Amino acid sequence: MLFYPKRRFKEQDRFVPIYIRITLDGKRYEWTTGRKCNFDDWDRTTHRVKGNKEAARDINCWLDTLYARAHTCRQDLYLAGKGFTPLHVRKLMQGEELDPPKMLSQAWGYHANQIAGLVGKSYTQGTLVKYNTALKALKKFILLKFQLDDIRLDKIDYQFIKDYDFYLKADYGVKNNTAIQMQKKLRTVMKIAYEIGWIRRDPYLAYRAKTEEVNREFLTTEELGALAIKKFSSKRLRVVRDLFLFSCYTGLSYADAVKLRSTDILKGDDGGLWLQTHRVKNNNRVRVPLISPAIRLIDHYKSYPRFLDEDFVLPQLSNQKANAGLKEIMKVMGWTKWLTFHCARHTFATTVTLTNGVPIETVGQMLGHKNIRSTQLYARVTDTKVSIDMKPLKKKYEGQQLELTNNN
């Protein structure tokens, strides 16, 4: 490292800027020290300004400071164990970041691209759509709060997370549980960025969120029976009703039900028919012994028109059209409860199985859940089940005698 006065070509001014030059492994980088001196006063042996005047001492003191600073930065870079250049020394000396800071869009794009590449393997198309939806909300928040299109990862801290949570609920207009799901997307991206080394701390370490219990609609035994025998004049509504009933009797989601093929219907060890498939959502295996109504629906649609060589068990209908048809069915049935296709899984868990004494562990396995906690979100103990379970206890206490005093 050395200092030198730099006189430009044909420059006549006696006072010229003093430059610092750092050379490392043949690579050179130089920049101005911010000081000037008389070109004739420069000592080419000591690389300092000649003389003992106050101006000379001030300049030389500053150059000594830069010299010590440069060697300290070089030592710090060496101890870090990474390769470095003179430019890295200069950046560290001037308090600049050695590497460009990573942006949120880079981390989000990194994870989203991996999801897109694994759709159909580890992820579903629905997962990618949810990430894109969460990113749109996040961009709106960043634009509103910071007037920026993007933000550095190291600027996302606990306050950012709390403000984003408030924005989702107050301004973006989503409910608590939806806000938590959108936060989970950002939390996953930040965790990946932390593990890669793009940020030094995980901003979600102190974040805690509590989901609210949701009133999950399901059909009672009476309602399920009424729907099963209802005659609809519209063929479209009959198909929607039958698809819904099939899920009520098997616990399959809409996506799993419509992709079911004849090869997924097997004969079990008990001699009865079983369906065996893998869930679209998480690829978990599902095995369900088929009850009579489900078998009759399969047989009914064996002669349903198919396209080309399709081998689907049930008619193919988009999820949007199926849910729209359910809204019409609600009106025809005179029901006020809000039906969606997912209500069928709740009906299977609550009305068809648990109410009839099927253990919750068995129900969870048929629903394709990895743990019992997921099943408990669907399962609801109905009054019928409570009544059945309480009968032995009521009978036990029927003859219980009590010593009661007269209140008069």
For residue range 103-151, what is the model confidence (pLDDT) as tens digits? Answer: 999 999 999 999 999 987 888 888 899 999 999 999 999 999 999 999 9
Q: What mean pLDDT comes out for the span 397-401?
A: 76
Q: What mean pLDDT comes out for the span 249-261?
A: 91
3-state secondary structure of 345: helix
Q: Tokens representing 302?
A: 């064996």
Check residue 383 and give its pLDDT.
Answer: 66
Give the pLDDT band (50/70/90) at residue 11.
low
Mean of the per-residue pLDDT values of the chain: 88
Check residue 282 and give its pLDDT.
Answer: 76
Strand partners, 29: 22
Q: Tokens representing 245?
A: 């009933």
Q: Tokens representing 83?
A: 């390769």
Q: Is the pLDDT of residue 152 over 90?
A: yes
Q: Does domain 221-391 have CATH number 1.10.443.10?
A: yes
The answer to whether the beta carbons of residues 108 and 193 sit under 8 Å apart is no
Burial of 44 (0-12, 13-18, 19+ CB in 10 A): exposed
Dist CA 33 CA 59 (whole Å): 10
User: Higher pLDDT residue, 97 or 16?
Assistant: 16
Q: Tokens representing 44?
A: 């080419």
Q: Tokens representing 199?
A: 């940020």
Dist CA 252 CA 398 (whole Å): 43
Q: What mean pLDDT comes out for the span 53-62?
A: 94
Give the pLDDT band (50/70/90) at residue 238.
very high
In this structure, of 202-206, 324-328, 368-372, the range with the lowest mean pLDDT score is 368-372
Check residue 139 and give its pLDDT.
Answer: 96
Residue type, 14: R
Q: Is the pLDDT of residue 215 over 80?
A: no
Check residue 185 and give its pLDDT.
Answer: 96
Q: Distances from the Cα of 170 to the Cαs of 143, 163, 166, 167, 208, in angstroms?
A: 16, 10, 6, 5, 18
Residue among 99, 103, 101 at smallest CA distance from 91: 99
Q: Is the pLDDT of residue 245 over 60?
A: yes
For residue range 160-213, what is the model confidence (pLDDT) as tens digits? Answer: 999 999 999 999 999 999 999 999 999 999 999 999 989 989 999 989 988 887
Q: Which helix (H) or strand (E) holds 273?
A: strand 273-278
Residue among 236, 208, 350 at smallest CA distance from 363: 350
Give the pLDDT band (50/70/90) at residue 388.
confident
Check residue 310 and give its pLDDT.
Answer: 74
3-state secondary structure of 117: helix
Check residue 333 and give its pLDDT.
Answer: 93
Domain segments of the chain: what residues? 2-93, 104-196, 221-391
Residue among 50, 151, 34, 135 at smallest CA distance from 93: 34
Q: What mean pLDDT comes out for the span 348-354?
A: 89
Check residue 334 and give its pLDDT.
Answer: 93
Check residue 37 and give its pLDDT.
Answer: 92
Check residue 391 and give its pLDDT.
Answer: 81
What is the DSSP pairing of strand 27-38 with strand 15-24? antiparallel
Check residue 216 and give its pLDDT.
Answer: 75
The answer to whether the beta carbons of residues 174 and 182 sit under 8 Å apart is yes
Check residue 393 and give its pLDDT.
Answer: 80
pTM of the model as a whole: 0.62
